[in-house]
Amino acid sequence: MTTATSNPSRGRPKILVVDDDDAIRKLINSRLSDNYDVVDTANPKLALEMVFQDPPDCILLDLRMPRHSGLELCQTLSSLSFTQQIPIFVISGKSREIYREICLGLGAREFFEKPVDFHRLKLCIAEALKAGATDRRSEPRLHLRTGMVLRGIDKYGDYFQTQITTDNVSASGFGCVANIAMEKGTVVELELGLGSERLVGRARLVRIEQRPQDQMFYGFQIIEKTGNWILE
């Protein structure tokens, strides 16, 4: 499986830019080429071929392109085990308020509205590649949004019960964004469903990642199953 880590054989992380606007592709190349090897294409179909021939470490994707939309390409890349660990950042002239949640639901890491805030983009790319380098997963994860209830003790010693929606799921774990302060090693009880919950076991927090807008992303590993998990 390809993960979102730099390929040692090429030295620097590789970024693929998919946008039919020549000026935007040139601008992104000029702003990122100091730290990354940047390749680009205006053709979404060719972009998919490029990803399979030589997987990049990160993809910057426009939404509005001829023949194939960026939404379709984002969904395809996020659903295939070979490419689903490559972080995708959507860069679009479309409204952030309308399209951000749609893109995140399809597997994108973040949404950037044009004109691009390159300072924030660079920070997001660096954080994604750093997280990928320390998170070498041995099993495929699916971008699957499933309602779940977590119960446990936060970093301040207080009991919490919170509803979350998974970002990705594997046979032995899941990732999610949660507004709870937790530390690595925190153990939570899991209930699937929002309204008709059923206890499925316990999980330990093994990964913490701070995302844009001060969101905290948590990766959990299941340590005990008392019911049927989403993937077996």
Q: Residue 81: which domain range?
A: 8-133
CATH code of the domain containing 123: 3.40.50.2300
How many Å apart are CA 57 and CA 9, to the nearest integer?
A: 13
What's residue 7's pLDDT? 46
Check whether residue 82 and residue 114 sit in a common domain: yes
Question: Which tens digits make up the pLDDT trace of 61-104?
Answer: 998 776 667 888 888 887 776 787 789 999 988 777 778 888 88
Of the residues 133, 167, 189, which one is the last residue of a structural domain?
Answer: 133
Check whether residue 122 and residue 166 sit in a common domain: no
Question: Which tens digits make up the pLDDT trace of 145-197?
Answer: 888 999 999 999 999 999 999 988 888 889 999 999 998 889 999 988 655 55
What's residue 214's pLDDT? 73
pLDDT band (50, 70, 90) for residue 5: very low
Alpha-carbon 89 to chain mean position: 9
Two tokens, residue 143? 């971008």
What's residue 18's pLDDT? 94
Check whether residue 106 and residue 155 sit in a common domain: no
What's the number of domains the chain is made of?
2
**Which DSSP symbol is given to 142?**
B
